[in-house]
Structure 1
């Protein structure tokens, strides 16, 4: 029986029609490389052939009676590819703006929990290319496991079989209502013991944090972010935009300054946010605070669960005009933040998430949104930024060359903007997803990324 981990299940409990907990991916394909001429029917059939035996694509949720424990995964015996892979066409003139508008609309649609938690839209009419917009619930994937799932459809040449990297688990055994109820009761009774076991390592982590704060080597603290227009209660409407950067140019800046690619990416993001907020007369004097997800897959002791992540907090230097000064500060802060994060047990977030209660979580999220509490307490963080390493060589999705690979993470009440950057064959693909009401012109924000890279490169003498 495959039970969801507490962290996986928490993404289910956090979800509302406004706070959508799926991750998205926009993939731009060149069908000219396909061994046979493109047709939607053939592509749909190929996708079915490759995902039918992959649990993450063909399993669905089953709730535990009375919500006494987290749900379990069971095989969907009525799996139908036509309920998951759909066909659309862009309105004329079929350009980037039309694709962004359609993808934003699709990002704002809830997934059907009665079926496996993913959907894919094959979008035709994008010039001589095809776009694929994909959604998977965060209960199913994190950044690393999501990349592994995409590999089940991608290869290194148009005629090779897909890579199929990583162990994706199994479908899990179904169980009767009585067994689920008994297990749920047992899990509830064990919770006080589990809490007691977590108190000592958690207290030690708090002591470490206090010590680092006193010495000035702690990561930035949550609840210390300045307020911006995108830090409030969100709606279910989404807007997104994408842009590409030259990875070699980013690496040249890294080499010239002795920093890392991640330092450079976060510095560019900080500069873009600074310019965007300044244009809107909304630039705070204090630096914006970002949450940066961090994989703990290599150090986690837990065998199960799709999400194996922690997070660190870092200032983006939006209060610094000089790009080189911003990069130097970013590199220093990131070193401290990484050292601090590594001093905290890798499974802390996963361990405490086990106590997430379905009914309590759901009621709390709805009350939080209904009372608009995100606008009344100190800002936890301004946005989420992820930097995901991708393939260094060209990939082919079922024979079509991947020209663009843009992951897009969810947004939350209090932080209505998510920026995700992924490398792919010498390019950095930047995707920004936002609540449309709080960041209505997300394209204007994304447009600053190339200019910020050039400004930083010029300052570094590249």
Structure 2
């Protein structure tokens, strides 16, 4: 059955180019010592995935475009679906260390997905024999899924589908009915659908406007009670044209320690502390390049607006908040305090209903206009952005996860970058660890190990400042 993409989902397709593939993913590492060796064979892994295809809506769906971009594309069940195309197994070159693994992940991730097939690929990477802090003989699973099909929250649902809470592999429920592929509809039918959709647009707009007017009093109160000074978006090395070559990195911190750090500032949250660490790392990196701007870096932080009813649905249900993250502030605690004040103001607006406005009204942008804007954005010689960096934070499970009986040791988030915004920092938590990851390109971060070291230093600086402050209060 045809399912149309939302305007937000389609925007990720329209921004796709050879230099800016718009997929998301993760690099998860597993310890096979908890699993039956036979279960980890290629044959069993294929069966493991096949048994779960019906639980993930995007697994066998591909895209069909409407002629002339008269409307947004559709998902159809792919009659040519071949599971083996999407499951791949490779070996990590020697010495099998972190640098080699992250380099391989970057090379795989920078390649665009084939838009004529279901938009996902999984790679099993073997030969992880010299990763510091990782058991010898571990393997990794690198996932790639197009952003048009998944956001952070629905991505966590996919993680749940592929993992168990014990080494025992839990049986999955059989599908209610046998899977049936779709026949691609002719162009004339798609154009007719576009005409009927466009005819109904004014009535949809009236419904959204009615919802907006009900939220206006609360949004007005939130704006007036949390008035912020307007902020400028400085130009940095992260805000030019990106290259096609990716760099990926990550740092692991103790989550309990981060929870303690946020207590150094009244009212601060764990997310505020994470933003402060990211800001400190970015500040140190730009300072080392003699490129630290006078005004603060502005971060875009996605906000999940997915309802419980939308939990299993395809695509994206996210809005965003934009806030300066205090990179102009040298003192780590003062930076955390500034972030806490700014996020509190944004939270008031979110609770008032303002977070869904952009997604609600985006559906009224004509597909042709959105496609043209996307193409222009990928081709601009000097792209501009409304923010400098994207920082996403998707909390993960606090208990160990197992896939095919193998225990997940860690998972590193990987995100897309765009022309004008060449740094994304996917933050996640798992089993007591906080993983601060980053994706960029070789033009903007040619030295990812140095950027990672700046994050280490920022974490330690905040820890020292918090310890000193708490000592003075006692």
- Same fold, judged at TM 0.5 (above): yes
Provide TM-score, normalisation by structure 2: 0.87
Distance 1:102 1:219, change over 3 A: farther
CA distance in 1, matches of 2:312, 2:191: 24
Partners of 2:61 and 2:78 within 8 A in 1: yes
Does residue 324 in structure 1 map to residue 333 in structure 2? yes
Provide TM-score, normalisation by structure 1: 0.89
- Taking the TM superposition and a 5 Å limit, the aligned residue runs for 1:286-325 are 286-298=295-307, 306-325=315-334
CA distance in 1, matches of 2:365, 2:24: 21
Moved more, 183-192 or 414-423: 183-192
SS class of match (1:154): coil
- Tell me the equivalent position of 1:184: 194
SS class of match (1:368): helix
CA deviation after TM superposition for structure 1 residue 358, in Å:
4.1
CA distance in 2, matches of 1:207, 1:238: 45
Partners of 1:2 and 1:173 within 8 A in 2: no
CA distance in 2, matches of 1:101, 1:301: 36
CA deviation after TM superposition for structure 1 residue 144, in Å:
0.7
CA deviation after TM superposition for structure 1 residue 27, in Å:
0.5
Aligned length: 452
SS class of match (2:52): helix
- Tell me the equivalent position of 2:31: 30
Task: Output one character per residue of 1:80-100: Cα deviation in whole Å (capped at 9) or x when no partner.
Answer: 121101111111111000011
- Tell me the equivalent position of 1:3: 4
Out of 247, 265, 268, the residue aligned to residue 239 of structure 1 is 247
Does residue 415 in structure 1 map to residue 416 in structure 2? no
Distance 1:357 1:20, change over 3 A: farther
CA distance in 1, matches of 2:441, 2:241: 9
CA deviation after TM superposition for structure 1 residue 310, in Å:
0.6
Partners of 2:222 and 2:352 within 8 A in 1: no
CA deviation after TM superposition for structure 1 residue 460, in Å:
1.3
Distance 1:181 1:303, change over 3 A: farther
Out of 398, 401, 407, the residue aligned to residue 392 of structure 1 is 398
- Tell me the equivalent position of 2:433: 427
CA deviation after TM superposition for structure 1 residue 71, in Å:
1.8
- Taking the TM superposition and a 5 Å limit, the aligned residue runs for 1:119-268 are 119-127=121-129, 128-161=137-170, 176-177=185-186, 178-195=188-205, 217-218=227-228, 224-258=232-266, 259-268=268-277
CA deviation after TM superposition for structure 1 residue 270, in Å:
0.6
Distance 1:163 1:240, change over 3 A: farther
CA distance in 2, matches of 1:427, 1:326: 23
Unaligned runs of 5+ in 2: 130-136, 174-178
CA deviation after TM superposition for structure 1 residue 101, in Å:
0.7
Unaligned runs of 5+ in 1: 165-169
CA deviation after TM superposition for structure 1 residue 214, in Å:
6.4
Task: Output one character per residue of 1:117-138: Cα deviation in whole Å (capped at 9) or x when no partner.
Answer: 0001111111121111111011
- Tell me the equivalent position of 1:18: 19
SS class of match (1:270): helix
Moved more, 443-452 or 360-369: 360-369
Partners of 2:64 and 2:74 within 8 A in 1: yes
CA distance in 2, matches of 1:212, 1:218: 11
Task: Output one character per residue of 1:362-410: Cα deviation in whole Å (capped at 9) or x when no partner.
Answer: 3333333433241xx5x41001001111000010112111111112221
